[in-house]
Amino acid sequence: MIHKWEFSLNYYHNSLNELETALKEIPAYQSWRAYDPGAFYPVDTRYQAMPALTKKDIREHFPDGFVPPGVSVKRGLDSGEISYVSTSGTTDDKVTNIWNQKWWDESEHASWKLNSYAARLATGDHPEAILVNPLNVGIASDSVDLPMAQRRLARFLYLSERTNYSAWTKEHMERMIRELMIFKPVVLEANPSLLSKLCRYIYESKQTVFQPGLIVLTYENPTNLHYRQIRRVFTTPIASSYGTTETGYVFMQCEEGKFHQNSQYCRVDFQPLKPEHGGPLLGRILVTPFHNNWYHLMRFDVGDLVRLDDQGSCACGRSSGMILSATEGRFVNATLTCAGRLVTSRELDNSLSGLDEIDEYKLEQIAAGVYEFHIASRQPDKKKLGESAVSILRGLYGKGAKISVIHEDAISAEVSGKFRISKTLFPLKIEDYLEQD
């Protein structure tokens, strides 16, 4: 049974304001007016009647299609109040957005309230070290090592300028360890895959490292393997932050491990999958940001699958907004069993959590019932490791699954600079898996 979430009156006020503004003033939504059942219906009903906004829609209407009449994008760009920012990824994933730094910061600050460690430590002027691929954020340089001073920006220190993490040398990682001790960040924000690589080096070289007050994992879905490798080195509290360039900060993991909606800054509509694919608790989310007067997005399909918390409450005491037990990974990273059931990245990861002595892995589904499992491990008995992996994967995908095990020195990141642990090499349509009621 899906819980009826608690929302403040202000949440419904913001939801109605965004809906009315979009339908009455924003050019990109002119055709959406025909879907609106009318002002006499509850705001939730009106939202549910609307289509989903896609990246294709953004490309077609960008930029003027998302601002009200009389608002000049050119003036905003000239004044520096806004800028353009492009997301990384494949051609279908890439999109240019209007970037409003002030709104972004306010959305982030609101999300900190949803984790007790962040609420206490993140003051807005706290020193923060960032270990992410500079293709996503930061300062990139693959030909020349940049000194620490050139990787400082306000209160931030970007630990790596390399876009290719396989190019990290021993000296590069020693520099990160040294700079963490010098900089002493209150918060360390990191791609889980990159922090895991650094932690493997720290652990194997038997070193200690500065312990920040909080580690925030972002940009990728952390896996059980990531947590295991990070926990061998850091005793610091860890929280996963979920958001997108388009929508700001959407969910924050609390100290109890559940994900709480940043309902002060966004609306989230949940669409369950069909029961045979994990519904009604598993589904996709459509996000409507609040308070961004420069960029009105409504019911934006962020492309991710989430799992609603079946208890409908949390021991942390926060009750306002949607609560998730987990983020399950991007829909494009889902795979299919031999019987055609959808398998999320998280379900795959949970199945593989018992594999020992591995560094990284990735599963690619070539065709129906055909899979390649790429694995990086220094375990000497590769044959035994491969047999264990095949046994686990057939338990998940079906006894008839054809699985090839490919041993790698390292698993490469995607074009976006992010890592994914699974994908199909053929397209899937989300509409085929959604509950239609």
Does residue 391 form part of some domain?
yes
| Sign, Cα dihedral of 419, 421, 426, 430 | negative
Q: In whole angstroms, give the CA distance from residue 221 to residue 269.
A: 21
Cα 413 from chain centre: 15
Residue 92 pLDDT grade (very low, low, confident, very high; cuts 50, 70, 90): low
Query: Considering 202, 236, 270, which residue would you say is the last residue of a domain?
Result: 236
Does residue 140 form part of some domain?
yes
pLDDT score, position 244 = 94
Q: In whole angstroms, give the CA distance from residue 167 to residue 37.
A: 56
Does residue 128 form part of some domain?
yes
Checking if the pLDDT of 90 tops 70, the result is no
H/E segment holding residue 152: strand 152-153
**Counted domains in the chain:** 2
Query: Considering 236, 257, 279, which residue would you say is the last residue of a domain?
Result: 236
Cβ atoms of residues 390 and 405 within 8 Å: yes
Query: Considering 236, 253, 278, which residue would you say is the last residue of a domain?
Result: 236
Q: What is the pLDDT of residues 150-186, one digit of tens each?
A: 999 999 999 999 999 888 999 999 999 999 999 999 9
Q: What is the pLDDT of residues 232-262, one digit of tens each?
A: 999 999 999 999 999 999 999 999 999 999 9
Does residue 133 form part of some domain?
yes
Q: What is the pLDDT of residues 274-302, one digit of tens each?
A: 999 999 999 999 999 999 999 999 999 99
Domain of 193, in residue numbers: 113-236
pTM of the model: 0.95
Q: What is the pLDDT of residues 366-424, one digit of tens each?
A: 999 999 999 999 888 999 999 999 999 999 999 999 999 999 999 988 888 889 999 99
Checking if the pLDDT of 94 tops 90, the result is no
Does residue 356 form part of some domain?
yes
DSSP-derived letter for residue 147 is: P
Range with the poorest average pLDDT among 52-66, 129-143, 247-261:
129-143
Checking if the pLDDT of 315 tops 60, the result is yes
- In degrees and rounded to multiples of 5, residue 352 shows phi and psi of -90, 5
Q: What is the rounded average pLDDT for all residues in the chain?
A: 95
Does residue 167 form part of some domain?
yes
